[in-house]
Amino acid sequence: MPEKQELSAPQKALLKLGLARDIDLALHLPLRYEDETRLVKLRDAREGDTVQIEATVTHSEVAFRPRRQLLVTVDDGSDTCVLRFFSFYPSQQKALAVGARVRVRGELKGGFLGWTLMHPSFRPAGGELATALTPVYPTVAGLPQAYLRKAVLGGLARADLAELIPPGVSGQIGLQPAWGLREALSFLHHPTPDVSIAALEDRSHPAWQRLKAEELLAQQLSQLQSKRERARLRAPALAAANGGLHEQLLAVLPFQLTGAQRRVGEEIAQNLGRPVPMHRLLQGDVGSGKTVVAALAAAIAIDAGWQCALMAPTEILAEQHFRKLIGWLEPLLAPRGQRVAWLTGSQKKKERAAMLALVESGEAALVVGTHAVIQEQVRFRKLALAVIDEQHRFGVAQRLALRGKMSEDGQEPHLLMMSATPIPRTLAMSYYADLDVSTLDELPPGRTPIVTKVISDHRRDEVIQRIRAQLAQGRQVYWVCPLIEESEALDLTNATQTHADLSAALQEGGAPVLVGLLHSRMPVAEKKAVMSLFTGGQMGVLVSTTVIEVGVDVPNASLMVIEHAERFGLSQLHQLRGRVGRGAAASACVLLYSTGDSPRLGETARARLKAMADTQDGFEIARRDLDIRGPGEFLGARQSGAPLLRFADLATDTDLLEWARALAPVMLDRYPDNARAHVARWLGGKSEYLKA
């Protein structure tokens, strides 16, 4: 039995990295390698190379300008080089005395005075050279490479690396990893010196391919397992009745559904009709009309005698839904003695108590709100359907809490998640593999395309002219101020300043214009007051920090100005731009950029803004964004609960992903023990991956 012992600092650091089991250590792979297998001559080296040389010290001095430093000149017979140390011990100074022969490693810098190595590592010359490349592992403070290397080697020697992927099956699927697991791991931990470091570091080497295939398979298996587990759960079967609420709602809508809305509505209705919980993601570009699809689903649930909850990430958004849904549903619910309830954090106690009572008695057929909807005190009488808008802004815990609101004898509610950020195909196949996905790929008719202009900040005056012109036509304008990540306070001064400048500029010589300001620090009541003036049309211009809530819907707004557009992510820009072009008026989006101190905008920034001007297709933009920023943006970082991939890269490893996706169901059916062991091997030690 292990004794109870204090863990040492490096042991604690290992745990912090999630390296608890032997297999976790074995799967902790190097970030890069150092080549200590050979010595080079300075004459053959190039700037930036990491070199290992053997040389003789020819000069040593402590200089004091510009600051105290030890300068040691060495000569390897082909050239000389200066070793520079800003901190050093007397013992090191002694070891580098004139005449000493030393082996030195470091990154070579060129310069006016010749080669330099800053703080190189060194030891006496001679001694054996390494026979394999030296791995450098991802680590954390308090965990030295040497300790970690030893721990990894130990783990690798002890871990059970039995092959779990049945070779026959894998071959049938058309891809037979060339390397075995044990072979691949030993190689990656100690690659022979003849291998190309480039192939190792860009992870194209067959040993890496094997590891990436393993990782993707584990992810696919675990998603498939949870999908199958869910299929065993029960949910109320909800069928749309003839002449029921669903039909009544369709009849009162002021528009015809688009083909896409009808198709997606049908997909959802089919799910709801089955006694198995729905787990569906409804994705549709901004303005594609997701809310009405949710309302129609709610109508089915309510008609069948159940309650429906709709949750949005912010109060303003929730309120917008609330108004729409009340407008559509309340007249139909009232004759049935039913209500729509409203729950948010900022609610007065008394109002909240009244709403809670409505929810608990079941009189509230529909409950709309923010996170407040899932708080403990909220007790539904019969919840059958939960709708989550902008699902990526909610965490897993919150989604689970919503599912937990279903009290009825072990049944689960149906879950409909909505997102305006279309998920690229590879992500849908991997992280979202346990979801069914519906897509609204058609915008309601009558929308005019948004013209997007990329304009330098120097031409601000022209932009203000444009705003005047829009206002003169009775239109409204959004002005979004930049996000300064480091400082919310700076954000605020910035927005406040812009607000003051714009107000002043727009009052000059024209009819008075109401310019409002909205930022994240404002009390909710104030935010609401500003929003209602803007929604009501009394306010001409709304200046805001990035809190213009995703989903805000003011069809009369026809111009969106985004300041410092170069600082935003593409998906974010797309979301913001989607605030205009919602009505019949011709709409425009101005991406104002600033180059700061440099004369021109950088290459990537230029390409990104150009992408925005080129296309209005959310899928295309999401794809380009994925290329530029990686999957974090789509997943809501760690919140997704889906294990992040450490090794595989969805942009380049599509073949492996397809293979894993095809193999997972076969393996789960025919080799369930191997499948379980494989998932445990890869995911067992950690609740989620730590990104290296």
Q: Tell me if 291 contacts ligand ADP by CB under 6 A.
A: yes
Q: What is the dihedral of CA 212, 215, 216, 218, to 10 degrees?
A: 160
Q: Tell me if 289 contacts ligand ADP by CB under 6 A.
A: yes
- Cis peptide, bond prior to residue 191, ω within 30 of zero: no
* Of residues 644-673, those binding ligand ADP (CB under 6 A): none
Question: Which residue lies nearer to ligand ADP by CB, 17 or 296?
Answer: 296
Taking CB within 5 to 8 Å according to partner kind, which of ligand ADP, Mg ion, none is near residue 286?
ligand ADP
Q: How many CA atoms lie within 13 A of 172 on its CB side?
A: 9
- Which uninterrupted H or E stretch holds 665? helix 654-670
Q: Tell me if 618 contacts Mg ion by CB under 5 A.
A: no
- In the complex, what is the shortest distance from the CB of residue 286 to Mg ion, in angstroms, rounded to a whole number? 7
Question: Which residue lies nearer to Mg ion by CB, 516 or 551?
Answer: 551
Q: Taking CB positions, which residue lies at the least distance from Mg ion? A: 551
Question: Which residue lies nearer to ligand ADP by CB, 292 or 481?
Answer: 292
Q: Which of 386, 420, 506, 543 touches ligand ADP (CB under 6 A)? A: 420
Taking CB within 5 to 8 Å according to partner kind, which of Mg ion, ligand ADP, none is near residue 86?
none
DSSP 481: P
Question: Which residue lies nearer to ligand ADP by CB, 143 or 311?
Answer: 311
Q: Which of 26, 83, 213, 286 touches ligand ADP (CB under 6 A)? A: 286
Q: Nearest Cα to 28, choosing from 41, 18, 16, 39?
A: 18
Q: Nearest Cα to 480, choosing from 450, 458, 449, 502?
A: 502
Q: Tell me if 540 contacts Mg ion by CB under 5 A.
A: no
Q: Tell me if 551 contacts Mg ion by CB under 5 A.
A: yes
Separation CA 440–CA 280 (nearest Å):
13
Q: Tell me if 482 contacts Mg ion by CB under 5 A.
A: no
Quote the tokens at residue 108. Answer: 């070579």
* Of residues 495-554, those binding ligand ADP (CB under 6 A): 551, 553
- In the complex, what is the shortest distance from the CB of residue 156 to Mg ion, in angstroms, rounded to a whole number? 50
Q: Tell me if 255 contacts ligand ADP by CB under 6 A.
A: yes
Q: Tell me if 139 contacts ligand ADP by CB under 6 A.
A: no
- In the complex, what is the shortest distance from the CB of residue 267 to ligand ADP, in angstroms, rounded to a whole number? 16
- In the complex, what is the shortest distance from the CB of residue 284 to ligand ADP, in angstroms, rounded to a whole number? 5
How far from 553 is each of 287, 489, 513, 638, CA to CA, in Å? Answer: 8, 28, 21, 29
Candidates 273-281, 470-478, 547-555, 582-590; binding stretch for Mg ion (CB under 5 A): 547-555
Q: Tell me if 313 contacts Mg ion by CB under 5 A.
A: no
The amino acid present at 259, given as its one-letter code, is: G
| 87 phi, psi to nearest 5 deg | -135, 140
Question: Which residue lies nearer to Mg ion by CB, 478 or 689?
Answer: 478
Quote the tokens at residue 439. Answer: 């897509």
Quote the tokens at residue 88. Answer: 């050093």
Q: Which of 139, 220, 258, 419 touches ligand ADP (CB under 6 A)? A: 258
- Count, residues near ligand ADP per rule CB under 6 A: 18
Candidates 50-58, 60-68, 283-291, 484-492; binding stretch for ligand ADP (CB under 6 A): 283-291
Q: Which of 288, 426, 452, 546 touches ligand ADP (CB under 6 A)? A: 288
In the three-class reduction of DSSP (H, G, I as helix; E, B as strand; rest coil), residue 273 is classed as coil
- In the complex, what is the shortest distance from the CB of residue 649 to ligand ADP, in angstroms, rounded to a whole number? 31
Taking CB within 5 to 8 Å according to partner kind, which of ligand ADP, Mg ion, none is near residue 303?
none
- In the complex, what is the shortest distance from the CB of residue 262 to ligand ADP, in angstroms, rounded to a whole number? 9
Taking CB within 5 to 8 Å according to partner kind, which of ligand ADP, Mg ion, none is near residue 591?
none
C-beta neighbour count of 113 within 10 angstroms? 7
Q: Tell me if 560 contacts ligand ADP by CB under 6 A.
A: no
Q: Which of 236, 284, 516, 618 touches ligand ADP (CB under 6 A)? A: 284
Quote the tokens at residue 376. Answer: 């403990």
Characterise 114 by phi-psi region: left (phi > 0), alpha (psi -120 to 50), beta (else): left
* Of residues 563-582, those binding ligand ADP (CB under 6 A): 582
Taking CB within 5 to 8 Å according to partner kind, which of Mg ion, ligand ADP, none is near residue 288?
ligand ADP
Taking CB within 5 to 8 Å according to partner kind, which of ligand ADP, Mg ion, none is near residue 209?
none
Candidates 101-109, 293-301, 338-346, 550-558; binding stretch for Mg ion (CB under 5 A): 550-558
Question: Which residue lies nearer to ligand ADP by CB, 439 or 498?
Answer: 439
- In the complex, what is the shortest distance from the CB of residue 475 to ligand ADP, in angstroms, rounded to a whole number? 16
Question: Which residue lies nearer to ligand ADP by CB, 209 or 572?
Answer: 572
Separation CA 416–CA 406 (nearest Å):
15
Separation CA 270–CA 680 (nearest Å):
35
Taking CB within 5 to 8 Å according to partner kind, which of Mg ion, ligand ADP, none is near residue 236?
none
- In the complex, what is the shortest distance from the CB of residue 294 to ligand ADP, in angstroms, rounded to a whole number? 8
Helical residues (DSSP H) of 167-282, grouped into ranges: 167-172, 181-189, 197-201, 206-231, 245-252, 259-272
Taking CB within 5 to 8 Å according to partner kind, which of Mg ion, ligand ADP, none is near residue 284?
ligand ADP
Burial of 32 (0-12, 13-18, 19+ CB in 10 A): middle
| 108 in Cβ contact with 3 (< 8 Å) | no
- In the complex, what is the shortest distance from the CB of residue 46 to ligand ADP, in angstroms, rounded to a whole number? 54
Residues 6+ apart with CB under 8 A from 455: 462, 463, 590, 591, 592, 593
Separation CA 656–CA 214 (nearest Å):
9
Separation CA 36–CA 92 (nearest Å):
21
Candidates 70-78, 273-281, 284-292, 637-645; binding stretch for ligand ADP (CB under 6 A): 284-292
Between helix 618-629 and helix 603-614 the angle, nearest 10°, is 170
Q: Tell me if 257 contacts ligand ADP by CB under 6 A.
A: yes
Question: Which residue lies nearer to ligand ADP by CB, 203 or 574?
Answer: 574
Question: Which residue lies nearer to Mg ion by CB, 303 or 549?
Answer: 549
Candidates 288-296, 306-314, 592-600, 644-652; binding stretch for ligand ADP (CB under 6 A): 288-296
Q: Which of 244, 444, 569, 685 touches ligand ADP (CB under 6 A)? A: 444
C-beta neighbour count of 271 within 10 angstroms? 21
Question: Which residue lies nearer to ligand ADP by CB, 421 or 430?
Answer: 421
Q: Could you please report the per-residue DSSP string of 252-264?
A: H-SSPPPHHHHHH
- Which uninterrupted H or E stretch holds 58? strand 50-63
Quote the tokens at residue 56. Answer: 């003789």
- What pairing do the DSSP bridges indicate for beta strands 414-419 and 383-388? parallel
428-459 core/surface letters (b: 16 or more CB in 10 A; e: else):
bbbbbbbbebbbbbbbbeeeeebebebbeeee
Q: Tell me if 281 contacts ligand ADP by CB under 6 A.
A: no
Quote the tokens at residue 566. Answer: 């170069």
Q: Tell me if 319 contacts ligand ADP by CB under 6 A.
A: no
Q: Tell me if 292 contacts ligand ADP by CB under 6 A.
A: yes
| HEC per residue, 497-552 | HHHHHHHHHHHCCCCCCCEEEECCCCCHHHHHHHHHHHHCCCCCEEEECCCCCCCC
| 298 in Cβ contact with 387 (< 8 Å) | yes
Separation CA 163–CA 198 (nearest Å):
28
C-beta neighbour count of 389 within 10 angstroms? 27
Length of the chain: 692
Candidates 21-29, 101-109, 123-131, 280-288; binding stretch for ligand ADP (CB under 6 A): 280-288
Chain residues binding ligand ADP by CB under 6 A are 255-258, 261, 284, 286-292, 420, 444, 551, 553, 582
Sites of contact with Mg ion (CB under 5 A): 551
